[in-house]
Structure 1
């Protein structure tokens, strides 16, 4: 689906930063829903499957709750390589830990997400968490202020690689932000809210797919 030349260009752009591996987006040609995460972790880099680590267990539950399978949706992320940092657990050897991607790393892989959206034309885009929300909309609100609230809006495309400048699309998209599945690992109290947001997403999917 994606040009290997484009992927190679993006991988070249991210080389100066501490990131490793590459995970392709997965899903059908014209999905009803595109889920956008932050970046792959260690598990995903090793097996090449988006959302297959601890957070992926919750993600699978969400998809099942929506009455969908992974074959029905497109799964991608703002950055396709794993951003890492080194740490030394007490009494153990140094190891790599996941970290949040920075803006330059997000811009390095931005054309990949731009191309995926252009090629698959999803009916609804679901940014999961703060990084995905910022990548698409250019804002960093508190997530509890925007999760579960659908909006019709243009989204950001990378306009210039040298300056990391974005432009907004002329086309509008249905966007429904939700919490990143990993958020539940640290705040189990969010689970009730997440399922309310999934109920809203289910309504939108049913409305859009019944047209």
Structure 2
């Protein structure tokens, strides 16, 4: 279990409170962990279960872990934002309103920035696997496109949050960072499935060399 300082947890919960976001899913896995996977934010299933990646995207992630010869016990999994960002939308037939998942905005990302930095420090990962563009922009390049670096091995500082000056600054330490598609991406763009597994093959080759 990860021993996060109480004041960091309290700030994270207080910071996210003004936004349309619900629940709080910290993360799961062994600590320390050589490999840390960082996703976007929990969805409805994750908030209900209290664990990351338990919905449809979680099943896809499990397939990818199995392809690599891993299980969830081999990694630590968390996300950039720990609460589920939602929007209200109407069901097409009934007109009934329901909460739908949405991408977190930059203020919500910042609300949990200190917490993510703390988790990375405590997990002591040798490799960071960034699942999707939100994680890539938070940790590597605020305006970057993950599609340009999918499956690449980057040896780089990461962006950390300077709370006192309210800005992101590069870390002193360098990490091995490998950006990957978010597991849910294949549901919206089935044509990337081959590219997903090519990037996993590259990941395997980096880690075994």
TM-score (norm: length of structure 1): 0.94
Rounded to whole Å, the distance in 1 between the matches of 2:120 and 2:68 is 21
| Equivalent residue in structure 1 for 2:97, among 94, 97, 106 | 94
Structure 1 segment 162-201 matched on structure 2, within 5 A: 164-201=166-203
- Cα deviation for residue 50 of structure 1 reads 0.5
CA contact (8 A) 1:133 1:140 kept: no
- What residue in structure 2 maps to residue 130 of structure 1? 133
| Equivalent residue in structure 2 for 1:148, among 146, 151, 167 | 151
Rounded to whole Å, the distance in 1 between the matches of 2:75 and 2:150 is 20
- Cα deviation for residue 113 of structure 1 reads 0.9
- Cα deviation for residue 92 of structure 1 reads 3.6
| Equivalent residue in structure 1 for 2:59, among 38, 57, 60 | 57
1:53-108 per-position Cα deviation (integer Å, ceiling 9, x unaligned): 11111100011111111011010110000000111112142110111111111011
Rounded to whole Å, the distance in 1 between the matches of 2:147 and 2:108 is 25
- What residue in structure 2 maps to residue 34 of structure 1? 36
The RMSD of aligned alpha carbons is: 1.3
Rounded to whole Å, the distance in 2 between the matches of 1:3 and 1:177 is 28
CA contact (8 A) 2:36 2:125 kept: yes
Instruction: Looking at secondary structure, tell me which structure has more strand per residue.
Output: 2
Identify which range, 136-145 or 123-132, moves more after superposition: 136-145
- Cα deviation for residue 3 of structure 1 reads 2.2
CA contact (8 A) 2:114 2:163 kept: no
- Cα deviation for residue 120 of structure 1 reads 1.1
- Cα deviation for residue 189 of structure 1 reads 1.1
Structure 2 residue matching 1:58: 3-state secondary structure: helix
TM-score (norm: length of structure 2): 0.94
1:127-161 per-position Cα deviation (integer Å, ceiling 9, x unaligned): 11110000101333333211011110000111026
Rounded to whole Å, the distance in 1 between the matches of 2:65 and 2:95 is 37
- What residue in structure 2 maps to residue 11 of structure 1? 13
In structure 2, runs of 5+ residues without a counterpart are none
- What residue in structure 1 maps to residue 109 of structure 2? 106
In structure 1, runs of 5+ residues without a counterpart are none
CA contact (8 A) 1:87 1:95 kept: yes
